[in-house]
Structure 1
């Protein structure tokens, strides 16, 4: 009888652990397709000057948002200006741009058009490709 009780407790514990692990995976979405991104961002409205930029729509309690910001503010962001648009302070900007999931990270060109972006985790290879499209390196001097 004692072994049966111990087995039952172990089964219940395994179910609880599996349930928690599944919730954690669901709370940390992976990168998704471009179709869920806004077509453009009003750079002036998010406090950015005209030019290529990285814009991250966030929410205060979102851990994935902090990770996305760390990625784009670090060397992976290629020194581009970064705007954080927190939901609590900028609900209207989230609504205007159709943002319903955070983090939503976008790379914009000089006119604010979205070149690429991610809902959830930032895809580093995709980020590098998007940055290559918007960052213009000076060519050799003409002579």
Structure 2
């Protein structure tokens, strides 16, 4: 009789556990965060506001890929193109002002501060350089040349 009672109790406990497992809601699948590119910059906030073009690279010292993104962007520095790294610990106010919530983020702006294009995440050197070339001089990149998927903040 004791064995029968023990078996009934074990079956009942197993049934309750099974019921709880079935009733438990499945975890909601997580989606990757969506980061945005600002559409307008105040050029006075950045280095060389008189330069016709700005490539602003928002980074973090704790971000490994940010270093490579910054190295790719530095090569674009010229009389016409100001290039600046905006590291979050060094310039938190600029990250807050422009609502930068993911790095690396590259923003390409004209003399008025209108953001003409940008990259969320690390661009390839070819994508970055071709995008800047095409924005500065439309038609300079041969037709059919795929230069990645920059984020157009105006669309």
TM > 0.5: yes
* Bigger Rg over Cα: 2
Distance (Å, rounded) in 2 between the aligned partners of 1:36 and 1:127: 21
Q: What is the Cα deviation at residue 46 of structure 1?
A: 2.1
Q: What is the Cα deviation at residue 52 of structure 1?
A: 0.5
Q: Structure 2 regions of 5+ residues with no counterpart?
A: 1-31, 139-155
Q: Where has structure 1 moved over 4 Å in runs of 4 or more?
A: none
- Structure with more contact order per residue of length (Cα contacts < 8 Å, sep ≥ 6): 1
Partner of 2:105: 104
Q: What is the Cα deviation at residue 72 of structure 1?
A: 1.0
Q: Structure 1 regions of 5+ residues with no counterpart?
A: 1-28, 137-143
1:1-143 superposed matches below 5 A:
36-50=36-50, 51-74=52-75, 77=76, 79=78, 80-123=81-124, 124-125=126-127, 127-134=129-136
Distance (Å, rounded) in 2 between the aligned partners of 1:135 and 1:93: 29
Q: What is the Cα deviation at residue 49 of structure 1?
A: 1.8
Q: Kindly provide the CA deviation profile for residues 15-43 of structure 1, in whole angstroms up to 9, marking residues without a partner as x.
A: xxxxxxxxxxxxxx9xxx9x820002222
User: Are residues 47 and 61 of structure 1, via their aligned partners in 2, closer, same or farther at CA, if it must alter by over 3 Å?
Assistant: same
Any idea what SS the aligned residue of 1:44 has?
A: helix
User: Are residues 110 and 135 of structure 1, via their aligned partners in 2, closer, same or farther at CA, if it must alter by over 3 Å?
Assistant: farther
Residues 43 and 111 in structure 2, CA contact (< 8 A), matched pair in contact too: no
